[in-house]
Amino acid sequence: MTDRKKITLIYTGVALICVLVLGMSFLLVGLKKVKKNDELPATGVGKEDSGDLVVLKSDFELQRQDGAAVKISDLNDKVWLAAQFYATCPMCAERNQSSLVEIYNEFKDEDEFLVVCFSVDPENDTEELLSSVRDGLQLNKNNWWFLRAEREKLWEFMTKEMYFTTIKERTDPIHIAQKGRWAHDMGYQLYRGDTLVHKWDQGLPLDQLRGEIRAALAEIRKPAESNEKEPES
């Protein structure tokens, strides 16, 4: 084999290797993007356009912090603000004591309004522990619910029907100490009965949230007001 042929073969081999490396790079970047997108909160879910609203497809039974059995369908005539939660999550504690308590205090006297926190760690969030969290927040009305259920079924309901992002277990001891054991969606969801009006990440300005709650309360009251105005036959 001549030197020229050897050089040609070498460069051909190098070129093929480069093509393979580039191909693998593009593949890994694509996979990384998909994974990254999977982690993003599903913000903006739910629209006010008729026919585009997201509706919960099935009912689900849970246990409230006082031991009472409740269902999602019990909220059909309510406007409820949903959030994921667990008692040992430091980020949940900070959020609940600030933004959620502020919103709750503003709307707690509205009969149609509730805050609903779903536990992502129901095995450890016992009835007693959830009750102590509620007492610690000094909630004086029964319109802030802390709910628990069998973990796998509850996780499936929250991710597949409620559009919460996937819950993952942290393994780094430093991250666990700083953020808690479970990595979960810290966003808010606003429902009008079984209808998801809107979903935001945790950075939602509270003024915007207040406006959405007022609008949802007005909408859910419309049927009752219409029935009151109907003339007697």
Domain that holds residue 166: 54-226
What's the pLDDT score for residue 226?
A: 59
pLDDT at 111 over 70: yes
The tally of domains found in the chain comes to 1
Residue 217 inside a domain? The answer is yes
Q: Is residue 40 part of a domain?
A: no
In a domain, 31, yes or no: no
pLDDT reading at 106 higher than 70: yes
Determine the average pLDDT of the residues in 84-89: 94
pLDDT at 148: 96
Tokens standing for 216? 């949802």
Instruction: Give me the CATH number covering residue 79.
Output: 3.40.30.10
Is residue 148, in this structure, part of any structural domain at all? yes
Instruction: Look at residue 184 and tell me if it is in a domain.
Output: yes
In this predicted model, what pLDDT tens digit does every residue of 120-133 receive, in sequence order?
999 999 999 999 99
Task: Produce one character per residue of 59-93: b if its CB has 16 or more CB atoms within 10 Å, e if not.
Answer: ebebbbbeeeebebebbeebbbbbbbbbbebeebb
Give 228's pLDDT tier (boundaries 50, 70, 90).
low
Q: Which of helix, strand or coil describes residue 56?
A: coil
